């Protein structure tokens, strides 16, 4: 049975860990001590289809207590990627691989700097997840996970097999670029706007004034992708982004969740990535620049916010 460490047991990491523990030997690693304590005391709870299930899975905050594992799945926020890289470096053997399931662009580069390119893989997931409280997550959407074939085709296929055995749809691809950018573009259209407007995803699809803003953010991102030579799998990126918002209508985006709890957002690896890539390929991205500035201002002014 494959030994897997999930580094970052937030919403996504908890939902994956809960299911994957049915097919592999799993340990959860997270810096939130209250969450870790709740999992160890009462088991990890997962709400799915309005039912609550519980599974006993070991969880730690101190990774030095864990024996060597074969694979690390990185599910932390972008600000914690350097920490996750150090944890993975401690746990992984010379032939072990860390797969990043994170949002945006640039996280894999941070991991490669610490672990080496031969030990870092990329994966794209459209699983939806929400953290309800310490030790309790909710599956918000059963989307597929795709593992990149590099750096180890064997590990990629083994991971995909384990996901499928656990009830999570998964596959392997030799070229993830179109999927990575497709997910990035959807996040560009949804995350920052829901955080700024303080609304669930569905509002972006159902309120014309908000949908217009989605269109502006996405069209800039698509122009950057095309200039960078990326072949997008999205036939109509704006329509498909709005469709995702509608399908996940009741969900709070991860960026809105960050804003609500006063945590750093991933704006730099999502809309910020579009701005940086736009500068590199010579495509202006004024609307995404404004979104970045607004989200950063929202983060910085949190202590001063007016309350009712």
Taking the CA of residue 27 as centre, how many other CA atoms within 13 Å lie in the half-sphere pointing to its CB? 19
SS3 (DSSP) at 198: coil
The side-by-side arrangement of strands in the sheet containing 97-100 is 59-60, 25-29, 3-7, 71-74, 97-100, 120-125, 145-148, 170-173
Contact 144, 166 (CB under 8 A): no
Annotation says 3 is catalytic: no
Does residue 162 have a cis peptide bond before it, meaning omega lies within 30 degrees of 0? no
Length of the chain: 308
Instruction: List beta partners, residue 100.
Output: 74, 122
Local structure of 307: helix, strand or coil: coil
Give every CB contact of residue 36 below 8 A, 6+ residues apart in sequence.
9, 28, 30, 59, 60, 61
Which residues, at least 6 apart from 261, have a Cβ–Cβ distance to it below 8 Å? none
Task: Report in angstroms the alpha-carbon separations of 28 from 25, 51, 159.
Answer: 10, 22, 16
Helices (H) and strands (E) in the chain, counts: 12, 12
Which residues neighbour 53 within 8 Å (Cβ) at sequence distance 6 or greater? Answer: 18, 45, 46, 47
Sheet with 44-48: list strands edge to edge: 51-55, 44-48, 136-141, 128-133
Options 77, 183, 212, 296, the catalytic residue: 183
Both tokens assigned to 129? 């997840």
From CA 113, how far away is CA 4, in angstroms rounded? 22
Query: Which residues are identified as catalytic?
Result: 183
């Amino acid at each position: 049975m494959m030994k897997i460490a999930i580094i970052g047991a937030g919403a996504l990491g908890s939902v994956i860990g809960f299911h994957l523990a049915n097919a592999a030997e799993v340990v959860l690693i997270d810096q939130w001590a209250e969450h870790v304590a709740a999992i160890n005391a009462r088991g990890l709870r997962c709400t799915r289809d309005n039912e609550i299930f519980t599974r006993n899975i070991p969880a730690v905050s101190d990774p030095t207590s864990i024996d060597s594992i074969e694979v690390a799945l990185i599910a932390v926020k972008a600000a914690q990627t350097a920490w996750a890289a150090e944890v993975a470096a401690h746990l992984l053997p010379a032939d072990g691989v860390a797969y990043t399931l994170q949002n945006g662009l640039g996280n894999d580069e941070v991991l490669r700097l610490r672990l080496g390119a031969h030990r870092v893989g990329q994966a794209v997931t459209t699983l939806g997840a929400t953290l309800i409280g310490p030790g309790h997550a909710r599956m918000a959407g059963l989307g597929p996970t795709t593992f990149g074939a590099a750096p180890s085709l064997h590990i990629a296929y083994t991971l995909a097999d384990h996901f499928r055995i656990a009830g999570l749809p998964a596959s392997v691809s030799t070229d993830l670029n179109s999927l990575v950018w497709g997910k990035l573009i959807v996040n560009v259209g949804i995350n920052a706007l829901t955080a700024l407007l303080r609304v669930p995803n569905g509002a972006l699809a159902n309120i014309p004034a908000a949908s217009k803003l989605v269109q502006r953010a996405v069209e800039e991102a698509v122009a950057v992708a095309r200039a960078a030579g990326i072949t997008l799998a999205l036939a109509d990126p704006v329509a498909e982004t709005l469709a995702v918002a509608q399908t996940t209508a009741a969900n709070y985006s991860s960026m809105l969740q960050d804003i609500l709890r006063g945590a750093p957002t991933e704006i730099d690896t999502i809309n910020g990535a579009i701005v940086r890539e736009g500068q590199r390929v010579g495509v202006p991205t004024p609307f995404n620049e404004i979104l970045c500035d607004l989200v950063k201002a929202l983060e910085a002014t949190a202590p001063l916010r007016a309350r009712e």
